[in-house]
Amino acid sequence: WICVFAMNQWMVDVGSVIAESPFVRAMKECRSAVLMLDKVASSLTRIWCLLELFIIVSQYDSTLQWTTPNITIVTPMGVVGSKRLSSAPVVAALQNVDSTKGRASNCADRRQIINYIAGKREHEGLQVVENFLAGTSALPEIKVPKMLDNRFDGDHRSDGK
């Protein structure tokens, strides 16, 4: 993954509230975002990337004060939605994101982020995850909003035809 905020990933103080973390504060200063995906969409396995994607597509108005979830998705082949690029695998990867499988270097960060995405108190411990694993509750999925999904409709093939 690429951290354009140039933060030391090993020494970032997340703080006690996700909405006040350095990542979210930096995102509030932006007007749009770029999601860079490799061939296997490995960015979508990192919990911090999933948090940023969740905020952009689900809380763009309330948390970021954006008017739309303004995100451009880029792969090594180019911008998703362009005539040169097949968007089907990327859209499939986005639609199959599972935030419960997101990885983090710091277990406490991971728990806090999963709780945030689930709409629970961030420091609730592992109860949210334990309930999910026990089958007594579900975590929300990160869905591609219809307005983003429509951007990738059509037959955009990688052979340029």
Contact 14, 26 (CB under 8 A): no
Contact 99, 141 (CB under 8 A): yes
Confidence (pLDDT) at 5: 57
Q: Which range scores top for mean pLDDT: 11-25, 98-112, 120-134?
A: 98-112
Give the Cβ contact number of residue 135 at 10 Å: 7
Q: Which of 4-8, 13-17, 90-94, 105-109 has the lowest mean pLDDT?
A: 4-8
Angle at 118 between CA 134 and CA 102, to 5 degrees: 80
Percentage with pLDDT > 90 across the chain: 12
How far from the centroid of its chain's Cα atoms is residue 113's Cα?
A: 11
pTM here? 0.69
> Is the pLDDT confidence value at 127 over 70?
no
Contact 73, 37 (CB under 8 A): yes
